[in-house]
A and B are shown apart, each in its own frame.
Chain A
Amino acid sequence: MASKDSKDQDPRIAKISSAIRIIPDFPKPGIMFQDITTLLLDTKAFKDTIDLFVERYRDQNISVVAGVEARGFIFGPPIALAIGAKFVPMRKPKKLPEEYSLEYGTDKIEMHVGAVQPGERALVIDDLIATGGTLCAAIKLLERVGVNVVECACVIELPELKGREKLGGKSLFILVEGEGA
């Protein structure tokens, strides 16, 4: 799998990239699925993944790490704990008690009312950005309650799917790039 610009490349990235397993034709024919579960089995590579995000964000006054269900729940909390931020899970519909949840749009995502305050600085984390629809919904939900989304952060980007363009101008930080199809 391709990695980012090798002249900038942190030496930890190569091992992270090679720890990710590609599964062809999942969930349907033609899709090359980027399986991060093998990364989680490599204790050093998983730690390096978290460290790369923590190093970037620890002095940025981030008080909220929002992680998208379910794989964002794996990467978000360790980052939140290391930088002293809250972790806010962003969930598929009906998983949160209804009177406590806000909902956004066609890519339905829910978050607890009151989890975040206006003016807080937030990151949105997921394992991968493909079309960007989910991240876009997460950003809009956070902004609706007055949060400043500083950046989106993913382990993997599928650049051919141009998800980066759907983030409403928000910046995206990723560790590795993969093939879209």
Chain B
Amino acid sequence: MSAYTDQDPRLHGIKTQIRVVPNFPKSGIMFQDITTLLLDPKAFKDTIDLFVERYKGKNISVVAGIEARGFIFGPPIALAIGAKFVPLRKPKKLPGKVISQEYILEYGRDCLEMHVGAVEAGERAIVVDDLIATGGTLGAAMDLLERVGAEVVECACVIELPELKGRERLNGKPLYVLVEYFDI
């Protein structure tokens, strides 16, 4: 589901603040740079408000954010809806006991970790990242939460690259995004 199709008037300001950088990190990739969005206090606030309006009052007790850009959007949402913020990190960054989830990349593998005890069985969670591309990282994040018995209610991203079909790697879990980017 995309907020953009609902045409909330705030979305135009958000979409125009996202800068597209060609050929980063490598040739052929059109990088979606959200840092310019963060320079516009109103657009950044609107971004957070759109997620908060969707998730407030839904008994969500966990907002999991994926390192590092998920750390920018997740905490303000968590604070506003009264949920815990749980950082999901690359290996060896979290200092305590962790569980790890490996996932497949285009070439090779990567791994995401979560602290043991951060999330309890039965908690209702959302996963936040700035962007969903192939869905590998979000899929791993969902696996971590489900392995400890949490219920992943939805994944939430600012941007989706629909052509990469990341939505299909979410095991049927709903995905909510604010803007879609098509590489024309």
Main secondary structure of the interface of B (DSSP, over half): mixed
The interface size bin for chain A is 35 or more
Known contacts A35-B95, A70-B71: A97-B31 contact under CB 8 Å:
yes
A41/B35 in contact, CB under 8 A: no
Could you mark each residue 78-121 of chain A with 1 if its beta carbon is under 8 Å from any beta carbon of chain B, else 0? 10110011111101001111101000000000001001000000
Known contacts A41-B84, A81-B48: A74-B71 contact under CB 8 Å:
yes
* Cβ-defined partner of B41 (8 Å) among A21, A69, A80: A80
* A57 within 8 A of partner (CB): no
Give the docked Cα–Cα distance between A78 and B72 (Å).
8
* A77 within 8 A of partner (CB): yes
* A173 within 8 A of partner (CB): no
* A13 within 8 A of partner (CB): no
Known contacts A35-B96, A74-B87, A86-B41: A97-B24 contact under CB 8 Å:
yes
* Cβ-defined partner of B39 (8 Å) among A50, A78, A86: A86
The interface size bin for chain B is 35 or more
* Cβ-defined partner of A89 (8 Å) among B45, B72, B89: B72
* Cβ-defined partner of B79 (8 Å) among A26, A50, A73: A50
* B38 within 8 A of partner (CB): yes
* Cβ-defined partner of A47 (8 Å) among B33, B68, B79, B96: B79
Nearest A residue to B90, CB-CB: A70
* Cβ-defined partner of A40 (8 Å) among B44, B73, B75: B75
Nearest A residue to B115, CB-CB: A37
Can you list 11 A-B pairs, Cβ within 8 angstroms, ordered by A?
A37-B87, A37-B96, A40-B75, A46-B79, A71-B71, A74-B71, A77-B44, A77-B73, A80-B44, A84-B41, A87-B72
